[in-house]
């Protein structure tokens, strides 16, 4: 490992990609058991057929990534995975950071796409302490407004638990939380509102030296189903109709602009391009390289 702020090694659970003068690092956090019952708004037979055609196992599993941005002398972590909330399979974000020589206290900013447990669990330790003691935690304002409320009386157990987790994580990190209402995060890093999955669900656009990459959060959870069938939502979309509209809009944009994307639930390393394919879309993964 060199003394540079930028990484120069490629561990198996970590992937570095240079975007202009920025290095984007995928950190594979978890590989979660899913279910086709999560899929909404399309026939179950169609979802099952797409799963079978993908040659993936049934029931499906869902990749969970986080992304570290090396921007100048700043280290910006976009989401934190499950962390202390992980099940028996555990979470790998901390190990991935250790593998590239980045200590938790070296993270300057944690940038949150939304406040679901698999994106903010890593903000706390197993003994309910802040996991990134020196980091500012930037949360979209709409997310704070929604999740700081009490869960609706008619909320499902899953929905109520999501509120409980958000309250717990926000309270433990209350001295570090900053409301993000502006689209401009810093030079070369812009918020892109992508509501529906949650009210303040956000992506982040990296722009440097003429190159661009959109970190789009949870636009899809099961890409083998939701890309060919963009109307397919998931059970944990807060506003399913808006999530479908947002997904269709951003898929059309990134395909038209040939804009590279990174997804928290795209198969590791979760970076590539989207192209039109019959009625829907298809993911073209970025080709792995031994160096950033």
pLDDT of residue 1: 45
Contact (Cβ atoms closer than 8 angstroms) between residue 91 and residue 121? yes
Q: What is the pLDDT of residues 53-94, one digit of tens each?
A: 999 999 999 999 999 999 999 999 999 999 988 876 678 999
Contact (Cβ atoms closer than 8 angstroms) between residue 237 and residue 222? no
Structural domains for the chain: 14-285 (3.60.15.10)
Task: Enter the pTM of the model.
Answer: 0.94
Separation in Å, CA 231 to CA 43, 63, 158, 240, 281 = 11, 20, 23, 9, 12
Contact (Cβ atoms closer than 8 angstroms) between residue 91 and residue 135? no
Mean pLDDT of the chain: 94
Q: What is the pLDDT of residues 210-249, one digit of tens each?
A: 999 999 999 999 999 999 999 999 999 999 999 999 999 9
Q: State the first-to-last Cα distance of the chain, in angstroms, to the nearest integer.
A: 14
Q: What is the pLDDT of residues 85-140, one digit of tens each?
A: 887 667 899 999 999 999 999 999 999 999 999 999 999 999 999 999 999 999 99
């Amino acid at each position: 490992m060199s003394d540079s702020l930028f990484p120069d090694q490629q561990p198996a659970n970590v992937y570095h990609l240079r975007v202009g003068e920025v290095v984007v690092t995928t950190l594979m956090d978890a590989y979660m058991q899913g279910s086709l019952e999560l899929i909404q708004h399309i026939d179950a037979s169609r979802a099952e057929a797409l799963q079978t055609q993908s040659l993936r196992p049934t029931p499906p599993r869902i990749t969970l990534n986080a992304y570290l941005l090396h921007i100048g002398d700043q280290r910006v972590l976009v989401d934190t995975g499950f962390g202390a909330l992980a099940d028996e399979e555990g979470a790998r974000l901390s190990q991935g950071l250790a593998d590239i020589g980045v200590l938790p206290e070296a993270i300057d900013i944690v940038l949150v796409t939304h406040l679901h447990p698999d994106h903010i669990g890593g903000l706390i330790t197993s003994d309910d302490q802040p996991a990134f003691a020196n980091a500012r935690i930037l949360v979209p304002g709409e997310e704070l407004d929604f999740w700081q409320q009490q869960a609706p009386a008619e909320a499902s157990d899953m929905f109520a638990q999501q509120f409980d987790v958000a309250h717990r994580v926000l309270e433990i990190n209350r001295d570090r939380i900053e409301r993000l209402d502006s689209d401009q995060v810093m030079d070369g890093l812009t918020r892109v509102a992508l509501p529906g999955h949650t009210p303040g669900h956000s992506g982040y656009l990296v722009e440097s030296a003429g190159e661009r990459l959109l970190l789009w959060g949870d636009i899809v959870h099961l890409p083998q189903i939701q890309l060919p069938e963009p109307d397919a939502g998931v059970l944990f979309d807060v506003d399913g109709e808006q999530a479908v509209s947002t997904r269709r809009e951003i898929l059309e944009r990134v395909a038209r602009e040939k804009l590279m994307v990174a997804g928290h639930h795209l198969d590791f390393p979760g970076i590539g391009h989207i192209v039109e394919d019959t009625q829907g879309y298809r993911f073209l993964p970025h080709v792995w390289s031994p160096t950033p």
